[in-house]
Structure 1
Amino acid sequence: MFYGRFAHSIDDKGRLILPSKVRLELGLAIYATRGIDRCLYLYPRSEWERLSEKIHQLPLTNKDARQFRRFFYGEAAELEVDKQGRILIPGYLREYANLVSEAVLIGAEDHLELWNAEAYEQENAALVQNPEALAEKLSTLGIL
């Protein structure tokens, strides 16, 4: 399970050092794809395969399903962790999430999200401004 927040820098070559705790959970093969909120989603192989099985069940005759497949898989990449514990994030994924230098890596239960630091601060500020509204939304989903 992934949780927590880690502030990191992305170097000029597009590499990110993974925290050792995260590295152990992820393993050597990491799957990266575009996230819905202009961040990147990082998955360990086991979760990627589990999610892929669910996506595979979506009907090809459904336009929304086809578009989601394109969004999710079309720009995905398998990343390897080097000996220094870094991953090289492809330029097109860095561009999508506006990852230039300062980044935030957050745990999201079965995956990690990699954010532009400023964008994450804005997203998080909006969430914590009104926790009651968030609790109400979660209640309708049966979580609280």
Structure 2
Amino acid sequence: MFLGEYEHTIDDKGRLAIPARFRDALNEGVVITRGFDKCLMGFPRSVWEELARQVSSLPIGSEETRQLQRMLFSGAADMTLDRQGRILIPQNLREFAELGDQAIIAGLNRHFEIWAPRRWQNVLSAMDANASLFAQKLAELRF
């Protein structure tokens, strides 16, 4: 399970340290791909394989399906953590997410996101502005 928010440095080679709490879940490997809202998404390989099966089963005749498949699969990078618990984020993905030398890693239960700090601050502001809508969603779940 991926929980929490962490700020880490990206070195000159594009390596990013994964939070220690996340590493055990990524022992089998990690897939990083383009995310929504100009972030990157990271998945344990088993979760990625489940997602890939589901997305691949969607009707290819649908333009939305093809766009989703392009977004997820064409930019995906399959990797393993190095001995220091880092991943090498490919240049094209760093450019997509506008990552510089800092990144925010946000846990989202079954996967995590990697954000440029400025963009993450915008996300937090939007979440604050929509707090009452989120409360309604929880109420719908009877929570």
Give the TM interval when normalised to the shorter protein: over 0.9
1:30 maps to 2:30: yes
Deviation at 1:28, TM superposition (A): 4.3
SS of alignment partner, residue 61 of structure 2: coil
Structure 1 gaps of 5+ residues are none
Q: Is the 8 A contact 2:38 2:97 kept in 1?
A: yes
1:1-45 CA distance string (max 9 Å, x none): 111111111111100011211111122411010001100000001
| Aligned residues: CA RMSD | 1.5
Structure 2 gaps of 5+ residues are none
Q: Report the equivalent of 2:79.
A: 79
Matches within 5 A, 1:1-144: 1-136=1-136, 138=137, 142-143=140-141
Deviation at 1:133, TM superposition (A): 2.7
1:95-126 CA distance string (max 9 Å, x none): 00011111100111110000001110111112
1:68-108 CA distance string (max 9 Å, x none): 10111011111221111111000000000011111100111
Structure 1 consecutive aligned stretches of length 4 or more whose deviation exceeds 4 Å? none
Deviation at 1:134, TM superposition (A): 2.8
Q: Is the 8 A contact 2:27 2:80 kept in 1?
A: no
1:44-72 CA distance string (max 9 Å, x none): 01100111111121011111111110111
SS of alignment partner, residue 118 of structure 1: helix
Farther-moved stretch of structure 1 (91-100 vs 17-26): 17-26
Q: Is the 8 A contact 1:42 1:112 kept in 2?
A: yes
Q: Is the 8 A contact 1:79 1:89 kept in 2?
A: no
Structure 1 counterpart of 2:90, which letter? P
Instruction: Give the TM-score of the pair, scaled to structure 2.
Output: 0.92
Instruction: Give the TM-score of the pair, scaled to structure 1.
Output: 0.92
Q: Is the 8 A contact 1:28 1:81 kept in 2?
A: no
Q: Distance in 1 between matches of 2:20 and 2:27?
A: 11
SS of alignment partner, residue 16 of structure 1: strand
Identity of counterpart residues, as a percentage? 38
Aligned residue pair count: 142
